[in-house]
Amino acid sequence: MRKKIAMLLTLGLVMGLTACGKSQSGETPAAPAQNTEKPEDASVQTPEAAGDKTVRIGVSYQNLSNEFITYMAEAAAQKADEMGVELVELDGRGSAEEQLKQVESFITDKCDAIILNPYDSSGCVPCVNAANEAGIPIIVVNGMTDNVQEATCYVGGDTVDSGRIAMQRMADELGGKGNIVVIDGPNAHSAQLDRSQGICEVLENYPDIKIIAEQTANWDRAEAMALMENWLQMGDDIDGVVAQNDEMAIGALKAIQAAGKEDSIKVVGIDAIADALTLVESGELIGTVYQDAVGQGAGAVEAAVRAVNGENLEKETLIPYKLVTVENLDEFK
C-alpha cells in the first residue's frame, strides 16, 4: 500500500513579459476522464508479482496549488495504490531550487525511481543530471526540462500542440482578424514556452490578427483577473483573450464580465478543468483544450515501475490534446 510521506503546500509566483519573437506592451475540476487511447499494459510487473521489496518512488510536483497538478497527483497516487508501490510526494512550491533539493533528498533516501514534474525547463536541468549521476531512473512528466532527452523518459503531451489548438479556435471565432491579448504561464516554464510557440505558429497564417499585449499571470486566476483589468483600463480594442491555462482564462473572463464587455471579447483556455467546462457549456468561454491529467499521472508511475524492473522504455509517451467546445462537451464531463 502506498505510503504518503510528505506533501507541502505553498504558492510560488513569478512575473514576466514575453511575446511572439519580441516584447509586447501591455495550469475544482472533476478528474479528467481516463485516457482511453493508451490502454494499460497488463505486462507491467508490480512489486508483488515480481516478488521484490516494495518499490519507493520519489515525486516532486511543480506546484500543488495548481488545480491541474493536484488531479495529476491524485491519478499518480491511485496508480501507485493499484501497483503496490510507495510514493514519497513533495511539493516544489513553484521553485526549481526547491525541486533540486527534493530530488537530492530522494537520492539520499535511496528511492528506486524519481518522477519530476518540473516547474522551470532550464532551472530543473540539474534535477535530471543528479538522478543520472546517482544511477536512479527519472521520469519527467507534464512539463519538459531542457535536457529531457537525458531523462529515462518523458510522459505528457505535445505542449506546442495545445497552443496551436487554442489559437486556432480563437482565429476561427474571430474570422481571421482582430486584436488579441495572450496570458502566459510562468516565464521559462516549458509549457509557457511551448504554448507560446504553438500560438505563434498559428498566427503566421493570420496576418490580420495582432497580439497587442502579452504577459504572464503565473497560472493564477486572481493574477489573471488583475492583469485583464489593467488591460481593459488602457482602452485598447481587444477582441479576444488566449490564456495558456483555464485558471487564467477564468480570471480574465471575470474581469471582462465586470467591465460589461463579455459580448465583445472572446476567451479560450487550456486544461479542461471543471469550472472551464461549465463556462464552455454556458457559452462564456469559446473553448478549452483537454489535457489528460489521469493519463499523465498514472503513466508516469507505470513508467517508473517499468524502469525499476529494468524494462526498456520509449523515450516519449505522448498523450494527445483535444479541443473542447459546446458541441463535443459531453465527451469530457
Q: Give tens-digit pLDDT for 119-154.
A: 999 999 999 999 999 999 999 999 999 999 999 999
Q: Flag whether the pTM goes above 0.85.
A: no
More confident residue, 1 or 84: 84
Q: Give tens-digit pLDDT for 314-327.
A: 999 998 999 999 99
CATH of the domain at 185: 3.40.50.2300
**Number of domains forming the structure of the chain:** 2
Residue 77 lies in a domain: yes
Tell me the C-alpha distance between 294 and 309, whole Å: 23
The range of the structural domain enclosing residue 195 comes to 159-290
Tell me the C-alpha distance between 67 and 277, whole Å: 14
Q: Are residues 280 and 181 in the same domain?
A: yes
Q: Are residues 307 and 222 in the same domain?
A: no
Q: Are residues 239 and 130 in the same domain?
A: no
Rank 16-20, 176-180, 329-333 by mean pLDDT and report only the highest.
176-180
Q: Are residues 254 and 300 in the same domain?
A: no
Q: Are residues 149 and 297 in the same domain?
A: yes
DSSP tag of 276: H
Statement: residue 18 has pLDDT above 80 = no
pLDDT band at 20 (very low <50, low <70, confident <90, very high): low
Q: Where are the alpha helices (DSSP H) in the chain?
A: 47-50, 67-83, 96-108, 125-134, 159-174, 190-203, 221-233, 246-258, 274-281, 293-308
Q: Give tens-digit pLDDT for 50-97.
A: 445 899 999 999 999 988 899 999 999 999 999 999 999 999 999 999
Q: How far is CA 222 from CA 19, 40, 252, 285, in A?
A: 22, 38, 9, 17
Tell me the C-alpha distance between 213 and 59, whole Å: 36
Q: Give tens-digit pLDDT for 242-275.
A: 999 999 999 999 999 999 999 999 999 999 999 9
Phi, psi angles (nearest 5°) of residue 120: -135, 125
Q: Are residues 132 and 199 in the same domain?
A: no
Q: Are residues 145 and 229 in the same domain?
A: no
Q: What is the pLDDT of residue 67?
A: 85
Q: Are residues 285 and 165 in the same domain?
A: yes
Average per-residue pLDDT for the chain? 87
Q: What is the pLDDT of residue 34?
A: 37
Q: Are residues 52 and 144 in the same domain?
A: yes
Q: What is the pLDDT of residue 53?
A: 81
More confident residue, 17 or 265: 265
- Averaged pLDDT for residues 19-48: 41
Q: What is the pLDDT of residue 149?
A: 96
* Sign of the dihedral defined by the CA atoms of residues 54, 71, 216, 193, in that order: positive
Q: What is the pLDDT of residue 236?
A: 79
Q: Give tens-digit pLDDT for 275-299.
A: 999 999 999 999 999 999 999 999 9
Q: Give tens-digit pLDDT for 188-224.
A: 888 999 999 999 999 999 999 999 999 999 999 999 9
Q: Are residues 286 and 166 in the same domain?
A: yes
